[in-house]
Amino acid sequence: MSSDLIKSVDESSFDTEVLKAQVPVLVAFGAIWCGPCKQMEPILEDIAATYEGKAAVVRVDIDESPNTTRKYGIKSVPTHLVFRQGQKAGAQQGVTSKDTLVNLLDPLS
């Protein structure tokens, strides 16, 4: 389930890895016990590989990062947020398609 291209981020690294990133970041909020989150893994890995160097894909475990989860209003998992230049630029809840996430990440695609 773990890809070298998808970094796990927690509350201590969220600012550096997401908010201060030089590229757009797709953040996958999920949990180890979440079946739909596991279902999204191949899509996230594909996006991470396709956008390597142009965007980042990271995951946040809601159980390990409750403050970050609360701060961004995550009510269910999986939830995917896109950040550009430190600002939330898009959101998608639930299992979704690669195209939907790519459109959030790269609106010009």
The residues that are catalytic are: 34, 37
Type of residue numbered 87: Q
CA 94 to chain centre: 12
Can you list the positions of beta strands (E) in 1-109?
A: 6-9, 25-30, 56-61, 79-84, 87-93
